[in-house]
Structure 1
Amino acid sequence: MTNRQHDAHFDSFSSEEASQHATVADALCTGLLSALTPNERDALSRHARLQTYAPGVALFQEGDENADAMLVLSGLVKLCRHSSQGKECVLHLVHTGKFLDAGVLFYEGGLPISAVALQPTTVLSLNRRAFLHTLENNAPLAVSLLGAMSLRQRLLITKIAGSQGRISVAGRVAAWLLHRSKMEKSATLRLGVTQEILARLMGISRESLSRELSALSSAGIIDHKRRSITLLDHDALVQRAQG
């Protein structure tokens, strides 16, 4: 390699490295992480790395001893669990700007869930020990993380109650739409997944979901397109979720 070729290679590598550092720095200033102090942000950046995953690839799996905290920078990830017969239960869909599952910081005896990319996905991985140390010293960040975990727990409680026959299909679909709208801060929801995955997420069959979405569309409560849903009547959805 000539000196000129060596210099060009070095410059290209330096540019890519600088771009990654900039991406990490930006990510550490967004969402829940905006509560970090400059010193905490600097410390975490030394233990952070960008990771990319192709669709279908697991970020972590049931039974793994532990995992680092992961913030989704782009793409879509499903959190799921499998029965002893191999049947998949989709617990949550994690969109851009959200942590995968803060529970990975605390689970003992192996992880109870898997995380699988549904789209080309990039995550910011934060070293588990370093992030736990930050939480111990930053109450606002810890409280914000608890708030995010409580929202997911509420969805899970709704799903469990529904599986026991206490919540109707209409109630489960309405509750999920309202939750997703609150999380995205928008009346228009970009689904990005098939109805089969959405149905598993709600604990109902694909046919039941399709019928309910058609009923909501016919009633003028939502506008349902192939990969998006727009909420048109918020109050009507609240009534169905509570009914």
Structure 2
Amino acid sequence: MTNLDQLKQIPLLSQLPEEELKSLARIVIVKRYQAGEDIFFENEPAKGFYALVKGKVKIFKLSFMGKEHILHIFGPGEIFAEVAVFFDQKYPANAQALQDSTILFFPRQSFRELLAQSPDLGLHLLGLFALRLRELVAKIEDLSLKEVPARLAAHFLLLLETKGKSTFSLDINKNQLASLLGTIPETLSRVIKKFKDKGLIEINGNTITLKDQEKLKEIALGLSRL
């Protein structure tokens, strides 16, 4: 698969005119990471940004005690680490491949030169920033104002929307999911068990089926409690 073909798999970039995509294809570098391999570290100079073609990547921070807190998990088609590049900053967090991943790397200097020649590309990325900011605000609200059942219900409903079906596999482990939701594995296990006991979900290994979506929506919105 050519660099151009892989760029077309990134929704934000696929809308660009063919000539602009060809320009991007000339500067992009294809990188492959194995599961568990580090991509960049917090406070490392931002040398470029990334677009995920295949696999999954977690963005996380470590506390002074070494505890990991996952900020976001990116899947195929998503772009990450772009803000630090535009503002000439250091990476604000760590990035690591959760699965074997194919990633497009956009070198900072080459990309900024291209951006100066293509205002349309800049407008598309402004849209990405706006969406990312909305997601960040929503996550802060979830972690600070909502209890764990509401966070978990909201996460399941997001997966429903993303995957387009009510039965799906959890592609991260329980510890990672707990970190993403701002809780601990023991608490997460108790909440999952309550969801199952009340008939809201069905579990088969790592496969989840949402049985009562309306109740989950009520819990996610804080309109109902377990």
Q: How does 1:1-243 map to 2 (within 5 A)?
A: 19=1, 22=2, 24-30=3-9, 31-106=11-86, 108-132=88-112, 133-134=114-115, 136-138=119-121, 141-161=124-144, 166-243=145-222
Alignment-mate amino acid for residue 197 of structure 2: S
Deviation at 1:140, TM superposition (A): 5.4
Structure 2 unaligned regions, length at least 5: none
The residue type paired with residue 121 of structure 1 is S
Q: Secondary structure at the match of 1:125?
A: strand
Task: Give the Cα separation in 2 of the matches to 1:188 and 1:150.
Answer: 29
Q: Percent identity?
A: 27
Alignment CA distance shift 1:186-1:72 (3 Å): farther
User: Measured at CA, do residues 72 and 95 of structure 1 come closer, stay the same or move farther in structure 2, by a change above 3 Å?
Assistant: same
- Structure whose alpha-carbon radius of gyration is higher: 1
Contact 1:72 1:124 in 2 (8 A): yes
Please state how far the C-alpha of 1:81 moved relative to its aligned partner.
0.3
Distance in 1 of aligned mates of 2:32 and 2:79: 15
- Gapped regions of structure 1 (runs ≥ 5): 1-18
After TM superposition, the score normalised by the length of structure 2 is 0.85
Instruction: Give SS of 2:194's match.
Output: helix
- SS class of match (2:79): coil
CA-based RMSD = 2.2
Structure 1 residues 87 and 174, CA, compared in 2 at 3 Å: closer, same or farther?
same
What TM-score comes out, normalization by structure 1 length? 0.80
Number of matched pairs: 218
SS at match of 1:199: helix
Alignment check: 8 A CA contact 1:63 1:112 kept? yes
Displacement of 1:50: 1.0
CA distance in 1, matches of 2:178, 2:23: 41
Letter of the structure 2 residue corresponding to residue 153 of structure 1:
L
Q: Is the 8 A contact 1:76 1:117 kept in 2?
A: yes
Deviates more, 1:133-142 or 1:204-213: 133-142
Letter in 2 for 1:170: P
